[in-house]
Chains A and B, each alone.
Chain A
Amino acid sequence: MSALARPGTDLRVALFATCFNDTMWPDTLKATVRLLERLGCTVEFPQAQTCCGQMLTNTGYGAKALPLVRRFVDVFEGYDAVVAPSGSCVGSVRHQHRGIVELAGDDRLASRVEHTVPKVLELSELLVDVLGVTDVGAWFPHRVTYHPTCHSLRMLRVGDRPLQLLRAVRGIDLVELPGATECCGFGGTFAMKNADVSVAMGSDKARAVVGTGAEVLVAGDNSCLAHIGGILGRQRAGVRHLHLAEVLASTEEDPA
């Protein structure tokens, strides 16, 4: 790659791994590190980090998430850029942390939250807005369809950034997913508490995915992918799912 293709040089980025990815999908995080380093960034992983608290907040236990918000700020406030390969967790940080702290009435923490959360970006935001790249030098010679997850779409408003990135991938055969903006039905604890509706929504999404003839379903949230992918797997549909980061990290030398 040329020097020009290393727009991240001099940028120090903190990786917010998110507890789910850390525990269940380390490959996504390794891919994120590989990708950002390839683009010249210095990636740090502050090991005192844990979780954004979204599961607690969205299930009705927002008060219990306060220590997690405090920890999040303690860990990340010193960085200029924080990135996570999860629209959902970044959505929680940017849209819920203020409210949790406000409710607790902690003004000092509130101003630290105010200072920290705007610097927390979803992967496609960091790449397109901060690094200013859409061609990240990836190679992925497969038929792919992309599902924009709800929180990246309607909380973070990432728009078509992920698609801009995917379109620039060499060898990719990117096909549009019909009804793409419709929710897949994961919804965190919704997937368990309203399992029937969740599966009904997921089945329609899976049907749309299969209809595209894609062999790989890509999204920016592993939780949604586990849900749709879980249904596709049960159907032996012949579609695998992969996080956006892994596609963007993929190269001829090191394919995903």
Chain B
Amino acid sequence: MTTTTPGPVQQTSLVFVGMPKFPTAAREALANTQQRRNLRHATHTIRDKRARVVAEVPEWEALRVAGAEAKDEALAHLGDYLEQLEASLTANGATVHWARDAAEANAIVLGIVRDQQVDEVVKVKSMATQEIELNEALEAAGVNAWETDLAELIVQLGHDRPSHILVPAIHRNRSEVRDIFRREMAAVGRPAPEDLTDEPARLAEAARLHLREKFLRAKVAVSGANFAVAETGTLVVVESEGNGRMCLTLPETLVTVVGIEKVLPRWDDLAPMLQLLPRSSTGERMNPYTTMWSGAHDGDGPQDVHVVLLDNGRSHVLADRVGRQALRCIRCSACLNVCPVYERTGGHAYGSVYPGPIGAVLNPQLRGTTSEVDKSLPYASSLCGACFDACPVRIDIPELLVELRGRVVEQEGRTAESAAMAAAAWVLSDPKRLAAAQRAATTAGRVIGGRTVRAVPGLGAWTDARDVPTPPTETFRQWWARERGQGSR
């Protein structure tokens, strides 16, 4: 493959089909007071932790630059590095598969599962498999996919959708988790203890016991990967709980679905990445478990190792001059945790497994801007810039949002807004026209005469909750002309 051929745009997923536009979904989310409180608490806790551990690293900025450069190098010669990755993995005894889209990837995984004649797989937390809705595809074929990450387990048992990249159950608090465990665990395996409380240790214990029998039984595991090193054919999974490592080491067959943008050229590129990722995502200096494997090794871990390299819209993003920086993303979710919009709406309003600032720029690129929600995502930001500051690989999310807004505008053609903007541009490009338009404001200012304005027809979106600034009776331009004459040019 070449790095400039636009690939297929990802199909909008079934699970999220019919999602309303962001402002509508957001309104509903804002009214959920329990979720607001959970989110506020969780995002602020992780945000503060991240800030503390990042501040400890004097060379943080240099690390960010190194991380971005490694990613950019990989993306600039993606075709070459992917072929190198395939060659290294194959030499190490792994089987490499290429998937253009979700359907192809799901079919490949299902084929491998069928070959093993099993009806269940254990899963390592993975964004790529959520993106392609692998669990749903397996389920439709009669195969149970058990999520083993604690938060993913909560989401799965709760018949819920993830609302965060790193902590998918961020919108749930402890007592909700206890209720879900008590209600749902029995139907799919070892039940939760009768006397389960909402103490974190008790909840973790219940999950541990529930999952253990699945770990010991499963013949096939499915994972994603945080990084894939082309030079050595090494796949890397970074996690906190150790449940991932159980899946990566116990079963006989391991299938790893990797987005093509996860490739890193060299082993040494892991150095900045493994420093950037844990501090940015969980606010830890180092994550508890880093599992690396390079193919299959006799008598050590899975003997049947598969890697599915997934495009699913990525080469389309890569072809875009401004947009391609989004492919640097290492899914740390720092941008979510610092985002004031995400903090209040949570992840579901973004209509994708990728929520928050990165979702707002990634989804419209991966899926295009045809659906209501994808069209509205570039506007789901106040452009405050907190995401860019937090991003360990320096993705300029505000710049990308503005760029994508331009594309939505272009696609929509003539609208009431475009007419208004054209008029504004015409007025603002000439001082005489601007002065004439300002007279409307000063006339209003004289009529209002300093009173507080609480409602203006057509401005409900503003005045519902905010008073309106009272226009002055004289603009600055008029004042200057009156006071200083035409003294200045």
Q: Which residues of A contact B (CB under 8 A)?
A: 17, 19, 21-27, 29-30, 44-51, 53, 55-65, 67-68, 71, 96, 99, 150-151, 153-155, 181-183, 185-203, 222, 226-227, 229-231, 233-234
CA distance A181 to B472 in the complex (A): 30
Chain B interface residue count, CB cutoff 8 Å, equals: 64
30 contacts between A and B (CB under 8 A): A17-B477, A22-B434, A24-B471, A24-B472, A45-B480, A53-B428, A56-B421, A56-B428, A59-B409, A60-B378, A60-B407, A61-B418, A61-B421, A64-B422, A153-B385, A154-B388, A154-B389, A182-B386, A185-B340, A190-B382, A191-B462, A192-B461, A194-B22, A195-B465, A201-B340, A201-B341, A226-B466, A226-B469, A233-B452, A234-B467
Are A59 and B421 in contact, CB atoms less than 8 angstroms apart? yes
Are A62 and B402 in contact, CB atoms less than 8 angstroms apart? yes
Q: Which residues of B contact A61 (CB under 8 A)?
A: 406, 409, 418, 421, 425
Q: Which residues of A contact B383 (CB under 8 A)?
A: 58, 150, 187-188, 190
Query: Which chain A residue lies CB-closest to B418?
Result: A61
Over the window 16-29 of chain B, the binary record of Cβ atoms lying under 8 Å from chain A Cβ atoms (1 yes, 0 no) is 00000011001100
Given contact pairs A194-B379, A227-B466, A24 touches B441 in the complex (Cβ within 8 A)? yes
Q: Which residues of B contact A60 (CB under 8 A)?
A: 378, 402, 405-410
Instruction: Give residues 395-449 of B contacting A (CB, 8 Å).
Output: 399, 402, 405-410, 417-418, 421-422, 424-425, 428-431, 434, 438, 441
Are B434 and A51 in contact, CB atoms less than 8 angstroms apart? yes
Q: Which residues of B contact A (CB under 8 A)?
A: 22-23, 26-27, 30, 340-341, 344-345, 378-386, 388-389, 399, 402, 405-410, 417-418, 421-422, 424-425, 428-431, 434, 438, 441, 452, 454, 461-462, 464-469, 471-472, 474-477, 479-481, 484, 486, 488-489
Are A190 and B425 in contact, CB atoms less than 8 angstroms apart? no
Are A195 and B425 in contact, CB atoms less than 8 angstroms apart? no
Q: Give the interface SS of chain A, mostly helix, strand, loop or mixed.
A: helix
CA distance A189 to B409 in the complex (A): 14
Are A45 and B475 in contact, CB atoms less than 8 angstroms apart? no
- The listed residue (A64, A65, A187, A229) touching B384 by CB distance below 8 A is A187
Q: Which residues of A contact B30 (CB under 8 A)?
A: 196-197, 200
Are A23 and B438 in contact, CB atoms less than 8 angstroms apart? yes
Are B465 and A197 in contact, CB atoms less than 8 angstroms apart? no
Q: 6 additional contacts, CB 8 Å, given A186-B382, A194-B379, A196-B30? A: A27-B472, A53-B428, A96-B402, A188-B382, A193-B379, A197-B26
CA distance A44 to B484 in the complex (A): 10
Q: Which residues of A contact B380 (CB under 8 A)?
A: 194, 197
Are B384 and A47 in contact, CB atoms less than 8 angstroms apart? no
Are A195 and B461 in contact, CB atoms less than 8 angstroms apart? yes
Given contact pairs A24-B469, A26-B479, A50-B434, A199 touches B464 in the complex (Cβ within 8 A)? yes
CA distance A96 to B398 in the complex (A): 11
Q: Which residues of A contact B441 (CB under 8 A)?
A: 23-24
Q: How far is the CB of A221 from chain B (nearest CB, A)?
A: 12
Q: How far is the CB of A13 from chain B (nearest CB, A)?
A: 11
Given contact pairs A57-B402, A67-B425, A22 touches B475 in the complex (Cβ within 8 A)? yes
Q: Which residues of B contact A233 (CB under 8 A)?
A: 452, 466-467
Are B476 and A150 in contact, CB atoms less than 8 angstroms apart? no
Which interface residue of B340, B380, B464 has the most chain A CB atoms within 10 A? B340
Are A230 and B385 in contact, CB atoms less than 8 angstroms apart? no
Are A46 and B488 in contact, CB atoms less than 8 angstroms apart? yes
Query: Which chain A residue lies CB-closest to B23?
Result: A194
Q: How far is the CB of B467 from chain A (nearest CB, A)?
A: 4
Are B425 and A197 in contact, CB atoms less than 8 angstroms apart? no
CA distance A232 to B241 in the complex (A): 45
CA distance A155 to B383 in the complex (A): 10
Which interface residue of B27, B430, B480 has the most chain A CB atoms within 10 A? B480
Are B382 and A199 in contact, CB atoms less than 8 angstroms apart? no
- The listed residue (B26, B381, B408, B417) touching A196 by CB distance below 8 A is B26
Q: Which residues of A contact B22 (CB under 8 A)?
A: 194
Are B476 and A17 in contact, CB atoms less than 8 angstroms apart? yes
Q: How far is the CB of A186 from chain B (nearest CB, A)?
A: 7
Are A22 and B438 in contact, CB atoms less than 8 angstroms apart? yes
Q: How far is the CB of B399 from chain A (nearest CB, A)?
A: 8
Q: How far is the CB of A111 from chain B (nearest CB, A)?
A: 21
Q: Which residues of A contact B421 (CB under 8 A)?
A: 56, 59, 61, 64
Q: Which residues of A contact B406 (CB under 8 A)?
A: 60-63
CA distance A150 to B402 in the complex (A): 16
CA distance A65 to B476 in the complex (A): 23
Q: Which residues of B contact A23 (CB under 8 A)?
A: 438, 441, 471, 475
Are A199 and B465 in contact, CB atoms less than 8 angstroms apart? yes
CA distance A47 to B217 in the complex (A): 79
Query: Which chain B residue lies CB-closest to A18?
Result: B476
Are B475 and A230 in contact, CB atoms less than 8 angstroms apart? no
Q: Which residues of A contact B424 (CB under 8 A)?
A: 55-56
Are A183 and B409 in contact, CB atoms less than 8 angstroms apart? no
Q: Which residues of A contact B430 (CB under 8 A)?
A: 50
Query: Which chain B residue lies CB-closest to A241?
Result: B469
Q: Which residues of B contact A222 (CB under 8 A)?
A: 469
Are A22 and B379 in contact, CB atoms less than 8 angstroms apart? no
Are A30 and B476 in contact, CB atoms less than 8 angstroms apart? yes
CA distance A41 to B31 in the complex (A): 52
Query: Which chain A residue lies CB-closest to B484?
Result: A45
CA distance A193 to B399 in the complex (A): 19
Are B341 and A71 in contact, CB atoms less than 8 angstroms apart? no
Which interface residue of B379, B408, B465, B475 has the most chain A CB atoms within 10 A? B465
CA distance A25 to B479 in the complex (A): 12
Q: How far is the CB of A49 from chain B (nearest CB, A)?
A: 7
CA distance A46 to B477 in the complex (A): 10
Are A202 and B466 in contact, CB atoms less than 8 angstroms apart? yes
Q: Which residues of A contact B429 (CB under 8 A)?
A: 50, 67-68, 71
Are A47 and B379 in contact, CB atoms less than 8 angstroms apart? no
Q: How far is the CB of B373 from chain A (nearest CB, A)?
A: 13
Query: Which chain B residue lies CB-closest to A27?
Result: B472
Q: Which residues of A contact B422 (CB under 8 A)?
A: 64
Q: Which residues of B contact A57 (CB under 8 A)?
A: 402
